Chains A and B, each alone.
Chain A
């Protein structure tokens, strides 16, 4: 294992990491994924409700981590439920991370292929991208935190800017009626909305690098609240511009929305390149995060240094991410990952309960 350096992450850095970990591939397809389930324009409400749900779950994970300062879930899992069950949980988490990592990488390649580099083979984009990821992961959590700190403000500013530029397409009538079919469609939308909050499980590992106090919990909540606001904003603006049915027929409604307007006399006329740029930055941060927590897990289980795993895992990711044949299979994979993710949230909830009972004894 790499020695965990003494200077720990500041609360701001924790918030930045959590936020970057959450903002990812979901942003582009979110309006469709939610609306095709909801069927009314109220999808943004589902996203908001899901956001509060996950702030609560994030708080639980932070609390769980707070019981074991300096330890990740791979280590304190064993302490709570015993060696074998703990190992099982660790393996479960590692498999999940591996699948998630390969999925996110494939998403990135898929978008790059469709919108940016049409004639470049997938394999090339994939390989080059993985090399950069490895470069940053080898450095450890601190360089990662600093890099994310540079990317995040750029992302937020650009995203809000290009969303607001598209307001001329916005028609409030597309969002009306508010809850016309009652609350049931909104509840139906909560499950598909959960996928954009995928990433909060990272808290279980980051907690090892912080002083577990109130500031940590606050940082976690802030790290979830910020993406939540951005998601709700994306939902409202994209839905108000493309209508319920229009959103449901597009694979990536957010990109299509940005591609639906041109602004004359503002240096650029077209803005989807900006969106794709920040989106690639964000998916990069996601992949780096997942890669890092995955490798940490492997190192913990086998009690070895991380470096061997960082390089060893590369071909596995490469092969895994090239398995799906088309976009539909990739989407299906995303659904699986989402179910894994929800199970993981359930597990951490149970772990906290057990820990509380243990504490009382």
Chain B
């Protein structure tokens, strides 16, 4: 019991864990296959970075709630989908977030991940696909009397992967700015829906708002942490999302004179 290595990766199986350990892929040892898949998830915002046993222990010790990637069988393949919500105080699994909810939440915490955003141009309803290269995030808690709010500042830098707008006008700055706005709105929408589910349905802080509070208001946090779950579900969030498109491929186009 004493000597379990804390570097083990923890995944939560939906269904029987034993079935997942019996998968057969290219004669590989099932666990190695799982780890390989886990290591290759870093492009996708819908999956979590690995949680080790050490991280779990520390979360439990600090009574922080957190997410663990869940795995399930899809026919004969493993699928990394959904995330288990672990309550840090009760030390129990209290539910699962589906991929959409997880993706929305990931903008709050998963800094190192890439990922794509499919957005639609508000005027023409044509599709713009944006891929993230770099993410700068800042969560600033504010306490006014008893009301707690968070300012979430997000700066997303990336490029257009797919642009279905026609006619192409990407040589014009305004066209790029329009795409940026569309992407920012889409990200904001995703974040807001996921957060409201988290706040109303699960009432657990898995996006480290508590950490931000602890750092910003260490003295008040001593009392707050007892009833943080409630405070968190009441907290309001202000979003400030800036999208910065650095690149749009090699095909552009100017505005037609007749358009203007």
**Contact surface of A with B, Cβ cutoff 8 Å:** 40, 114-115, 118, 169, 173, 176-177, 180-181, 242-246, 248-249, 256, 259-262, 270
Contacts and interface: CB of A to CB of B under 8 A. Distances in A.
Contacts of A243: 58, 61-62
Contacts of A115: 3
B143 interface: no
B218 A181 contact: yes
Contact of B7 (A40, A114, A259): A259
B236 interface: no
Given A114-B2, A169-B54, A180-B218, 18 more contacts: A40-B218, A177-B214, A177-B215, A177-B218, A181-B219, A242-B58, A243-B58, A245-B58, A245-B61, A245-B62, A245-B63, A246-B58, A246-B61, A246-B62, A249-B57, A256-B54, A259-B7, A259-B54
B211 A173 contact: yes
Contact of A180 (B7, B63, B215): B215
Contacts of A180: 214-215, 218-219
Contacts of B63: 245
Contacts of B211: 173
A249 B61 contact: yes
A71 B58 CA distance: 51
26 contacts: A173-B215, A176-B215, A177-B214, A180-B218, A181-B218, A181-B219, A242-B58, A243-B58, A244-B62, A245-B58, A245-B62, A245-B63, A246-B54, A246-B57, A246-B61, A246-B62, A249-B57, A256-B54, A259-B5, A259-B6, A259-B7, A260-B7, A260-B52, A261-B7, A262-B7, A270-B5
Contacts of A242: 54, 58
Contacts of A114: 2-3
Contacts of A244: 62
A259 B52 CA distance: 11
Interface of B: 2-3, 5-7, 52, 54, 57-58, 61-63, 211, 214-216, 218-219
B212 to A, nearest CB: 8
The secondary-structure label for the interface of chain B is: helix
Contacts of B54: 169, 242, 246, 256, 259-260
A40, A115, A259, A260: most-surrounded residue (chain B CB, <10 A): A260
A101 to B, nearest CB: 27
A114 B1 CA distance: 11
A260 B6 contact: yes
Contacts of A40: 218
Contacts of A176: 215
A43 to B, nearest CB: 15
Closest 8 CB pairs of A and B: A180-B218, A246-B58, A245-B61, A260-B54, A245-B62, A260-B6, A176-B215, A243-B58
Contacts of A181: 218-219
A28 to B, nearest CB: 15
Contacts of B58: 242-243, 245-246
B197 to A, nearest CB: 25
A44 to B, nearest CB: 17
A244 B62 CA distance: 8
A256 B6 contact: yes
A249 B54 CA distance: 12
Nearest to B63: A245
A261 B9 CA distance: 10
A177 to B, nearest CB: 5
A211 B76 CA distance: 78
B3 to A, nearest CB: 7
Contacts of B7: 259-262, 270
Contacts of A261: 7
A168 to B, nearest CB: 11
